[in-house]
Amino acid sequence: MKSIEDTLKTIEDIIKTIPANIEVALIGGFAAILHGVERTTLDIDFCVYSSIINAPHEPSAFYNILIKHLPERFEARFVKGSSIPDDPLKHDIIFINDRLGEFLRIDLLMARYKWELEAIHSAVNIAGISVPVITKPYLAAMKLRSSGYKDAHDIEGLFNLMSEEEKAKTIELAKRIGRDQKLYTILTPLQEKSDDDLEEEII
């Protein structure tokens, strides 16, 4: 299996060959791992933005350009957001698979909202990782809009690793995207556990 570094370099090389200004940030499970959350993942996810992505006359314009620049070993599939029942944000997604089975599946999520573009612009550099990584608050916000068990686990893990400033930003983003109640529900067991620990220390 190819390393994450090999996968990131492959994505960079492909994007560099596309004749358009493209912005990209690492998201998903690998981003959570890089921020310190203990978990595993079977794919590697990127949030991508370009003016050609949101062309109203042709939603698949970016995909049509991308497939012309993919190495032969890869095959890609474009799925419109309206066809993905478990994606409440209805993103267009491109799934890239390695025919040789050496690379993890690569998922390119097309940025659709202003706050997602903000997430790409505020992504941070992590030593040894060539693609900017979405920050913990924005990663938590993306996961709040998903419904998987791992997403809730990641949110807990990320919140535990955040500074007070990052926590405040996460709460702000949760309110902005209408998921503040969901954040509260996920984090309530953490608060209860903290209160129990304090009680035991006092006793």
Name the residue with higher pLDDT: 136 or 146.
Answer: 136
Residue pLDDT, tens place only, 150-165: 899 999 999 999 999 9
Residue pLDDT, tens place only, 154-197: 999 999 999 999 999 999 999 999 999 999 999 986 555 444 44
Residue pLDDT, tens place only, 40-90: 888 999 999 987 766 555 658 889 989 999 999 999 999 987 555 555 557
pLDDT attached to residue 197: 47
Name the residue with higher pLDDT: 96 or 150.
Answer: 96
pLDDT at 203 over 50: no
**Band (148; pLDDT cuts 50, 70, 90):** confident
Name the residue with higher pLDDT: 149 or 118.
Answer: 118
**Band (2; pLDDT cuts 50, 70, 90):** confident
pLDDT attached to residue 134: 98
pLDDT attached to residue 83: 57
CATH code reported for the domain at 4-202: 3.30.460.10
pLDDT at 28 over 50: yes
Phi-psi sector, 178: left (phi>0), alpha (psi -120 to 50), beta: left
- Enumerate the domain spans of the chain: 4-202
Are 93 and 84 in contact by the 8 Å Cβ rule? The answer is yes
How crowded is the C-beta side of 80, counted as CA atoms within 13 Å? 7
DSSP string, 6-64: HHHHHHHHHHHHSSS--EEEEEHHHHHHHTT-----SEEEEEEE-TTTT-TT-TTHHHH
pLDDT at 135 over 90: yes
